Amino acid sequence: MDHYDSQQTNDYMQPEEDWDRDLLLDPAWEKQQRKTFTAWCNSHLRKAGTQIENIEEDFRDGLKLMLLLEVISGERLAKPERGKMRVHKISNVNKALDFIASKGVKLVSIGAEEIVDGNVKMTLGMIWTIILRFAIQDISVEETSAKEGLLLWCQRKTAPYKNVNIQNFHISWKDGLGFCALIHRHRPELIDYGKLRKDDPLTNLNTAFDVAEKYLDIPKMLDAEDIVGTARPDEKAIMTYVSSFYHAFSGAQKAETAANRICKVLAVNQENEQLMEDYEKLASDLLEWIRRTIPWLENRAPENTMHAMQQKLEDFRDYRRLHKPPKVQEKCQLEINFNTLQTKLRLSNRPAFMPSEGRMVSDINNAWGCLEQAEKGYEEWLLNEIRRLERLDHLAEKFRQKASIHEAWTDGKEAMLRQKDYETATLSEIKALLKKHEAFESDLAAHQDRVEQIAAIAQELNELDYYDSPSVNARCQKICDQWDNLGALTQKRREALERTEKLLETIDQLYLEYAKRAAPFNNWMEGAMEDLQDTFIVHTIEEIQGLTTAHEQFKATLPDADKERLAILGIHNEVSKIVQTYHVNMAGTNPYTTITPQEINGKWDHVRQLVPRRDQALTEEHARQQHNERLRKQFGAQANVIGPWIQTKMEEIGRISIEMHGTLEDQLSHLRQYEKSIVNYKPKIDQLEGDHQLIQEALIFDNKHTNYTMEHIRVGWEQLLTTIARTINEVENQILTRDAKGISQEQMNEFRASFNHFDRDHSGTLGPEEFKACLISLGYDIGNDPQVLASCMEHAQGWPPGREITRVSPFSLLSLSASPCFPFPVGRGARPLLLSPPGPCWAPPSTTLTSALGCLSWEPARCPPSSLLTALHPVDGFLHLPAPSYAFLWTFSPDVYLHLFLLCSSPPPDLQTVRLVLPSGPLCPVFLAPGRPFLLSPLTFLVSWCHCPTEEDRHDGHG
């Protein structure tokens, strides 16, 4: 055939690629199944003159469903219900489903209610079940049926065709060549297969569907677009469609086969007569042999020996092996000949063959049945007899074997069960013994079957009349008695073990309870002993009162603690009572704790002894703290008076130095009276020192009754003394300056009034702007040059050039007016202030100390050290102060000028790198910086001098 491709004949054997299973979820199957199943149903309903339009609606009342089943099965179903109610519809559908089930179809999850409710999924599933049963199930090809048979039929029919590879009922049909190949294979005149192309599936499918509908009476069940437009066509729809092709072509093939058989009928008729004769002869011979054999098989005479029964069995086996098989072959051949003859006669429309009387097939079958029955009975009898004899021997051997095994197992078990090892065992050992005993009980229960088997075997031997039954019965009775004894001993041992376990568990619980309560109680006693013996350090009466309160609270807990102690000892006594009552042999002490009742009682007694000792210690400490509190109050009362007194005196001295009341001599007299009253206050300071000494000896570190400490009082007292001495010194210097320059009292008052007027904050000092305004008020116009103002402040304060000056004191203002290098005329006439005199400014050796010091003060860079040293009369490395008892001294070092006010009476200085020795006199105020006093006692004071000047230094002007 030119449309076949021999090279492609094996293509259908190639497996196709795995299909993407995710596409199985595509709902397009419902549309395809609806259309296919509807067309398939209508192809059969048309025979009854009806059809359906909507598959889930038209089958809801069950009438067309029953009609469809009658058409495709050819059988009548029960009379349908004609009512319109739901119950009538369910009844009709149930009749249809019952009919389907009667055909061997198992309906899973399909009920009448779902069909009546129009459930599409269930309706389609039901129709598919009907199609499988009535259209596909009966398909059989080469020992395969249903789906596999249909697939194999398609593969066989399409194998020779090019581009056709049928492997399934979905994508293998998508290109339409499979449908066209089936039609061309059976009706080649309907399709020109050579013009079909694989890449034109729509044309192929439409061609196949149209030809099948027009010439093969196969309705169009699918549209070509439904198949091509779906990734995977619905398998059920394709199978239904293909099954219609199978039935259409297989019917034509059957008609052809029938025609060939008609031709063969004539040849068969010639053989019929010969077959009739052969049947008669074979039937007669077979019946005769059966009549002779049956009496031999019915002989049931028993034999007493195994050998005789085995001989009979051997004879029967010879019969079955040698004599019967030929007769079976003859009987089979006879039936074959008879059936063949009858078939040929029936096919040729001739009357059936009737054998002579007594030789019918039924007669032969009846006789053969009797033979078989006799043979079966004879065989059963032989086998039963042999089994009986064999069983007797087997049972006797089995009895002996099981009895020996059981007796070996029970050996020593009674002695083991009578042991009383549990009497001296611990709780863990008792539990282990119980586990071991439970295992033995399980083993014993397992051997129960063996004992029962031994008894059953003995009983069966008796029933079968075993010759040695007496010895078997005696041995069996002994085993049973021993077994009963083992059971009783097992139960008794279990009860003893459980009783002992219960007692030991009770003791163990008591031990555990004892340990749980004894451990914290022991810890409490140890903590109590530690607290009672612990030393305490308190500083206030509140702290000792807190300790006393805590101790009283502790003593209040002692009765409850004693109750707890008695309860713990009671637990231990309960254990002793159980041991004595039940005679329990306790191996060891409490496993949960090492705390003994003796230890608890010993610690409790120790605690009771420590309590009064603690009471005494707290009482003594309380008395000591009360004494300390009295010392605090005593010191605080005095300090609260002395501290404010010192502050008041400091303020009063400050007011005296600022206010203008009387002459300088009056102020000096007033200040000396203040100094005397301050000195007279010294005994109270000494008394406060004594109280402070007592407080220090008592180790008292704080005092809530006052904010003053002794150190504060000391510093304030020293500052008070220093302030009054400094103030007196300032007034004395003012008197010296006034007398030296001839300044009148009115001028002094004017200086003071101007200074107080511009001292807005009453601090006792003037700032740069206040100082400038004060000079202007006194008649000195220094202009607006900041450098001139700074220089004036430096000259007034006696500060080195370049050092920043922020405040100026009243005495500085007076010193500025008394400067020898820059004499300021007294008066209101304003004129410029000269800061630098013309020519060098240094004093000859005969110059007074005041002139030398003034020169050094105003022009330190231009004042040679020889002027100062000459004025101070250096002799053998010493500097001697001049005759005046009060003077002010300027000294210098390489970097720092120190302004030192000395208040002394002709002190002899000792110059060793300028060391001033002040052996006597009051405290000396020293100013390292403006406003920062540093108090000196009459001891050695180092002035920070680098070295003594040499002659070379005197000549070149370097100090």
Residue 929, pLDDT > 80, answer no
Residue 827, pLDDT > 60, answer no
pLDDT at 305: 65
668-693 as b/e, with b when 16 or more CB fall inside 10 Å? beebeebbeebeeeeeebeebeebbe
Helices (H), ranges, 46-145: 55-58, 63-73, 86-102, 112-116, 120-131
- 847 exposure class (CB count in 10 Å sphere: 0-12, 13-18, 19+): middle
At residue 832, the 3 state secondary structure works out as coil
Q: Give the pLDDT confidence of 73-89 residue by residue, as tens digits.
A: 888 888 888 888 988 88
- Cβ partners under 8 Å of residue 778, min gap 6: 750, 751, 754, 828
Calpha distance 667→748 (Å, rounded): 13
Residue 296, pLDDT > 70, answer yes
Calpha distance 351→341 (Å, rounded): 11
Calpha distance 153→172 (Å, rounded): 14
pLDDT at 788: 66
State the pLDDT confidence band at 438, using cuts at 50, 70 and 90.
confident
Lowest mean pLDDT among 295-299, 406-410, 734-738, 930-934: 930-934
State the pLDDT confidence band at 652, using cuts at 50, 70 and 90.
confident
Calpha distance 311→456 (Å, rounded): 32
Give which of 794, 780, 898 is closest to 829, Cα–Cα.
780
pLDDT at 855: 34
Residue 250, pLDDT > 90, answer no
Q: Give the pLDDT confidence of 684-710 residue by residue, as tens digits.
A: 888 888 888 888 887 887 888 888 888
Domains, the chain, ordered by start: 41-251 (1.10.418.10), 266-387 (1.20.58.60), 392-496 (1.20.58.60)
State the pLDDT confidence band at 387, using cuts at 50, 70 and 90.
confident
Give which of 129, 182, 175, 190 is closest to 157, Cα–Cα.
182
CB 395 within 8 A of CB 464: yes
Give which of 56, 60, 59, 99 is closest to 79, Cα–Cα.
99
Instruction: Point out which residues pair with 902 in neighbouring strands.
Output: 887
Give which of 834, 889, 896 is closest to 857, Cα–Cα.
889
pLDDT at 207: 92
Output the pTM of the full model: 0.34
Calpha distance 265→244 (Å, rounded): 32
Residue 144, pLDDT > 80, answer no
State the pLDDT confidence band at 817, using cuts at 50, 70 and 90.
low
Which token pair is 226? 């439904």
Which token pair is 955? 């000549």
Q: What is the mean pLDDT of the chain?
A: 75
| Type of residue found at 128 | W
∠ CA 539-540-546, rounded to 5°: 110
Dihedral over Cα of 660, 662, 663, 665: its sign? negative
Tell me whether strands 144-145 and 886-892 are parallel, antiparallel or unpaired: unpaired
Q: End-to-end CA distance of the chain, in Å?
A: 144
pLDDT at 935: 34
924 backbone dihedrals φ, ψ, rounded to 5°: -105, 125
Calpha distance 374→290 (Å, rounded): 11
Residues of the chain above pLDDT 90, percent? 6
Helix axes 710-741, 664-680, angle to 10 degrees: 160
Give which of 851, 845, 837 is closest to 890, Cα–Cα.
851
